[in-house]
Amino acid sequence: MDSLPTAADLITRAERLVVLTGAGMSAESGVPTFRDALTGLWARYDAEALATPEAFERDPALVWGWYEWRRELVERVHPNAGHRAVARRDCTLITQNVDDLHERAGSKDVIHLHGSLFAPRCSACHQPAADVPGGTVEQEAADGAAIGVANRAAGGVADGAADRRAGEAAGGAVGEGGPRTPPACVYCASPVRPGVVWFGEQLPVAAFERAVEVAARADVLITVGTSGQVYPAAEIPQVTAKRGGAVIQVNPQPTPLDPFCAINLRGTAAEVLPEIIR
Ligand code: BV8
Ligand code: ZN
């Protein structure tokens, strides 16, 4: 991949570096992407059909169970060499992912365009459910934090393959998942919902505005592990390119973002990022 040194040089010299990540960033940690065949119970459902307000309205237990399965999976895996490479560099990180692997790798300034698995809230009064006194969500979050700490201690694995093996082993521990009745809000008794942005829902305005603003001022933007098909997130790399910034893509496959990229590195996050972010 001859363009690796060119990319590494552009990134080293960048004064305002932005990184945009998608589900492929967490793949080598063992977290399935949207386009992977979802395993077990979820193989029968299309992620885009489950990730909607209508699906939650129609079957809250199925949707809540899917997100709890994903949250428990994330708690059992750990950041990969790609997350750790990004965390080493002073940059603004914009993620479409709802996991906390960037934060657990040490990244500080993370803009979550699509929310988080760790911020459940009431579907009616929007109160954060983590405040539920003694609620299962609070308790599990605490357990998750403990697992996260254990992972961090174990997280010293150096390369993508080891990360993937660890992720697959952890993933197996979570099993198939299944429908679960969402907890009731302690303030208004309505069902608690995942704190993510579903299809058809507006992105958090401040987060999206800040993402566009930093992308417009970036001299280099690295886009990693996103199929570039979901809007308005897919606009972010285009903003940088249109303002004369250099976009570097890391993805084993071509994507609709290819034409906006100065360099396309056909490789995976855990293999390529440690090579280009020194
Ligand atoms: C909105 C959170 C309006 C939930 C997510 C028709 C045309 C255009 C747009 C639309 C349309 N119909 C509807 C829309 C709008 C819609 C949209 O864009 N739909 C798409 C499908 C066409 N967008 C919305 O609905 C957005 N909201 O528009 O609101 C509005 C405005 C005002 C007021 C009210 C309403 C909301 C979109 C957010 C949805 N939520 N996630 C959850 O996680 O469950 S989206 C979710 O899928 C992800 O967050 C991500 O954004 C998206 C795609 O996933 P990717 O991250 O790209 O991952 P994917 O699996 O697709 O691909 C993985 C990639 O990684 C692949 O390229 C693969 O090659 C690569 N890869 C694999 N392994 C590796 C790797 N790369 C590196 N290393 C590896 N190891
Ligand atoms: Zn409520």
Distances (CA, A) of 169 to 114, 162, 208: 27, 11, 35
Q: Which helix (H) or strand (E) holds 202?
A: none
Instruction: Tell me the mean pLDDT in the region 205-214.
Output: 98
Angle at 227 between CA 109 and CA 172, to 5 degrees: 80
Look at the chain and report how many structural domains it folds into. 1
Strands 110-112 and 115-122 come out as unpaired
Kindly report the protein residue whose alpha carbon is nearest to atom 80 of ligand 1: 268
Distance (angstroms) between ligand 1 centre and the Cα of 234 equals 8
Residues serving a catalytic function are 114
Strand partners, 57: none
In a mutational test of the pocket of ligand 1, which residue from 111, 168, 230 has the highest number of ligand atoms less than 8 Å from its CB?
A: 230
Please compute the mean of the pLDDT values over residues 166-175 and round it to a whole number: 69
What's the burial of 117, exposed, middle or buried (CB within 10 Å: 0-12/13-18/19+)? buried
Pocket test for ligand 1, best of 1, 28, 29, 34 (most atoms within 8 A of CB): 34
Give residue 222's domain range. 3-276
Q: What is the pLDDT of residues 15-44, one digit of tens each?
A: 999 999 999 999 999 999 987 767 766 777
Average pLDDT, rounded, for the chain: 88
Atom of ligand 1 nearest to the CA of 48: 21
Torsions phi, psi for 108 (to 5 deg): -95, -55
Mean pLDDT throughout 265-270? 98
**CB of 233 shorter than 6 A to ligand 1:** yes
156 has a pLDDT exceeding 60: no
**Res 153: pLDDT:** 46
Q: Is the pLDDT of residue 161 over 90?
A: no
Contacts of 33 (CB under 8 A, 6+ apart): 22, 23, 24, 26, 27, 225
Task: Identify the residue with better confidence: 170 or 104.
Answer: 104
The whole-model pTM stands at: 0.90
Judge if the beta carbon of residue 114 lies within 6 A of ligand 1: yes
Q: State mean pLDDT over 222-238.
A: 97
Which pLDDT value is given to residue 131?
53
Instruction: State the pLDDT at residue 132.
Output: 38
Measured in Å, residue 22 CA sits from the centre of ligand 1 at 8
CATH of the domain at 57: 3.40.50.1220
Length of the chain: 278
Place of tokens 């592990």: 225
Ligand minimally distant from the alpha carbon of residue 199:
1
Neighbours of 21 (CB within 10 A): 27
Rounded distance, CA 250 to CA 117, Å? 25
> Taking 50 as the threshold, does the pLDDT of residue 197 lie above it?
yes
Which residue type occupies 33? T
| Per-residue pLDDT at 267 | 98
**pLDDT tens-digit map of 100-138:** 999 999 999 899 999 999 999 999 999 999 753 323 444
